[in-house]
Amino acid sequence: MKRLIQYLPTALVVLAPVFGSAQQVEKIDTAMVSKIKDEGLNRSKVMDILSMLTDVHGPRLTNSPGYKKAANYAKSSLELWGVQNVHFDTWEEDFGRGWQLKKFSLQNLSPVYFPVIAYPKAWSPGIKGTVEAEAVYLDIKKEEDINKYKGKLKGKIVLFSLPTPVKPGFKPDATRLNDSTLLQMANADISESFGGRRFQAPTEPQRLAYLKWDLCQKEGAIAVIEASPATRLEDGTLTVSAATVPYPAETPFSKRVSAYKADVPKILPQVVVAAEHYNRMIRQIEKGQTVKLELTLETEFTPSAPGFNVIGEIPGTDLKDEVVMFGAHLDSWHSGTGTTDNAAGSAVMLEAMRILKALGITPRRTIRIGLWGGEEQGLLGSRSYVKRTYGERLDKSFPYDSIQLKPGAEKFSVYLNMDNGTGRFRGVYLQGNENVRPIFRSWLKPFNKMGASTLTLQNTGGTDHLSFDAIGLPGFQFIQDPIEYSSRTHHTSMDLYDKAIEADLKQNATMIAAFAWLAANRDSLIPRK
């Protein structure tokens, strides 16, 4: 962040007087924190909120009917609790089409019947009716192998990927952070970077993958089946994301069109299969057996439209023009119900708002909630909001070191985010902002006995606090116990309500409410790095 100081001396001089000094003793309203803890831990609604977002309105693929229903539920809930200025915050650009799955099944009919564990990719086109077709394994390891499949794929279902090695899992899926790991984090130096996506020369596997897709398309295959990656998952759990839009490896990313865009080129129906079942079908074929599949795939696209976020606030009093904000992304992938990623975060933020309203208290600064859309497609919702409200990075390529702030940035205090699963908060990633350490250390004291006491200079990436941090605004993600996030639920078919831990979510919502209240009522804005 030294670059930020170098490029924004004027902005820093203007804004410095309103920022709090990290050296002063931080005042804690312990009586109010106790009231927040009592409401959040003893009269919580977080699991009811979570069930509505997942069991009833999940999954929530961006711009899909499920996302819109969940957004309407969030909006009506906030209004019911008395939150003000609740509205849908529409992005300035068109996102693309919505999509939902209407009907799906995949069965292996021969040489022996079994129902296949599988799920279509998002924005995959459908197939009319139910089809029965032979499966062909595309065993292509080098370019010259393509010729042997010409004229053999029409009307077939193609097994596209190579077999995926699967081994018994000897490590537990669910874990919590131990003391030694937390100590390492606390002692770590800053490790953040605005890295950016740099150009890399296309590799031979990338070129070969395009040739395989092109072959399937030109030869008239019915559908393409791929194995779910088993590098971290097995036991029938699927990792499913967006449909592949094939491009030659040399095509710049700026020239490629995503599957959700209205002007996407024609693509084949695409299905992901559990690695164990995919490998079984390949072994059948390699033993000279004819694998016959029955496929039903009915999908629905909704018209292309701008995406939107859900915004609401508790207006402040004497410092009402200054803003404390917390949020999480509302959208999810589609093979589960998007519970740990990230209905858990959205439910915690909604519950934090409910807690504050239930106490009938009014903060000095305005407290605002943001539930973001399009996070899974690249933080689209929060980036759009930050750009329109607070400013943007002007450089479009690495090193991303030119920032233009809007007047609203001068009155912005802090953004708090949750997006690492169901696990309880153990502390805060400081994003290299040493100035906030004594503040957060004081705020964590009421929660130390609940296991939350670690502060690390390290950054954690990949979620919406980065939209704020990228333009120099204080934006933070909490350190969380991983539970099953990376080993079982992240972007998978097992991301379901049953994987949520009630006690952890209660703690998290209580901490968000307390942090927001303390930030909204301190004498100064949160200091910047």
Given 276, 301, 326, which residue is the final one in a domain? 301
Taking the C-alpha atoms of residue 184 and residue 77, their distance in angstroms, rounded to an integer, is 41
Q: Which residues of 470-479 are buried (b: 16+ CB within 10 A; e: fewer)?
A: bbbbbbbbbb
67-81-325 Cα angle (round to 5): 70
Could you read off the pLDDT of 319-328 as tens digits, one per residue?
999 999 999 9
Asked if residue 528 is part of any domain, the answer here is no
Q: Which residues contact 72 (CB under 8 A, 6 or more apart)?
A: none
- The pTM assigned to this predicted structure is 0.92
pLDDT at position 1 is 32
Mean pLDDT value of segment 190-200: 54
Considering only CA atoms, give the Rg of the chain.
25
pLDDT beyond 70 at 195: no
CATH code at position 478: 3.40.630.10
Q: 403 φ, ψ to 5°? A: -120, 140
Percentage of the chain surpassing pLDDT 70? 92
Asked if residue 320 is part of any domain, the answer here is yes
User: Domain check: are 249 and 264 in the same one?
Assistant: yes
Could you read off the pLDDT of 91-104 as tens digits, one per residue?
988 999 999 999 99
pLDDT beyond 80 at 475: yes
- Split at pLDDT 50, 70, 90, the class of 455 is very high
Asked if residue 87 is part of any domain, the answer here is yes
Token pair listed for 326: 């917390």
Amino acid letter, 415: Y
Mean pLDDT value of segment 16-36: 73
User: Domain check: are 201 and 328 in the same one?
Assistant: no
Asked if residue 267 is part of any domain, the answer here is yes
Say if CB 215 and CB 160 are below 8 A apart: no
Say if CB 245 and CB 289 are below 8 A apart: no
User: Domain check: are 130 and 207 in the same one?
Assistant: yes
Given 301, 334, 353, which residue is the final one in a domain? 301
Q: Which residues contact 505 (CB under 8 A, 6 or more apart)?
A: 44, 46, 47, 50, 344, 347, 348, 351, 422
User: Domain check: are 269 and 248 in the same one?
Assistant: yes
Mean pLDDT value of segment 473-502: 95
Amino acid letter, 420: N
* Half-sphere CA count of 460, side-chain side, radius 13 A: 20
Q: Which domain holds residue 110?
A: 99-174+195-301
Separation in Å, CA 134 to CA 154, 221, 225, 287 = 10, 11, 12, 15
Taking the C-alpha atoms of residue 180 and residue 215, their distance in angstroms, rounded to an integer, is 52
Taking the C-alpha atoms of residue 367 and residue 312, their distance in angstroms, rounded to an integer, is 9
Q: Which residues contact 512 (CB under 8 A, 6 or more apart)?
A: 326, 348, 349, 352, 416, 418
Q: Pairing relation of β-strands 365-372 and 223-227?
A: unpaired
Could you read off the pLDDT of 310-367 as tens digits, one per residue?
999 999 999 999 999 999 999 999 999 999 999 999 999 999 999 999 999 999 999 9
pLDDT at position 194 is 44
CATH code at position 244: 3.50.30.30
User: Domain check: are 450 and 326 in the same one?
Assistant: yes
Asked if residue 155 is part of any domain, the answer here is yes
User: Domain check: are 287 and 323 in the same one?
Assistant: no
pLDDT at position 199 is 52
Asked if residue 527 is part of any domain, the answer here is no
User: Domain check: are 343 and 446 in the same one?
Assistant: yes
Total of domains in the chain: 2
Asked if residue 526 is part of any domain, the answer here is no
Minimal CA–CA distance to 423: which of 487, 332, 340, 496?
Answer: 340
Q: 41 φ, ψ to 5°? A: -95, -25
Token pair listed for 389: 């409200």
Given 242, 275, 301, which residue is the final one in a domain? 301
User: Domain check: are 269 and 128 in the same one?
Assistant: yes
User: Domain check: are 152 and 40 in the same one?
Assistant: no
User: Domain check: are 455 and 510 in the same one?
Assistant: yes
Say if CB 227 and CB 283 are below 8 A apart: no
pLDDT at position 162 is 92
User: Domain check: are 232 and 353 in the same one?
Assistant: no
User: Domain check: are 142 and 264 in the same one?
Assistant: yes
- Split at pLDDT 50, 70, 90, the class of 2 is very low
Helices 437-444, 502-521: axis angle to 10 degrees equals 130
Mean pLDDT value of segment 126-142: 96
- Split at pLDDT 50, 70, 90, the class of 400 is low
Asked if residue 307 is part of any domain, the answer here is no
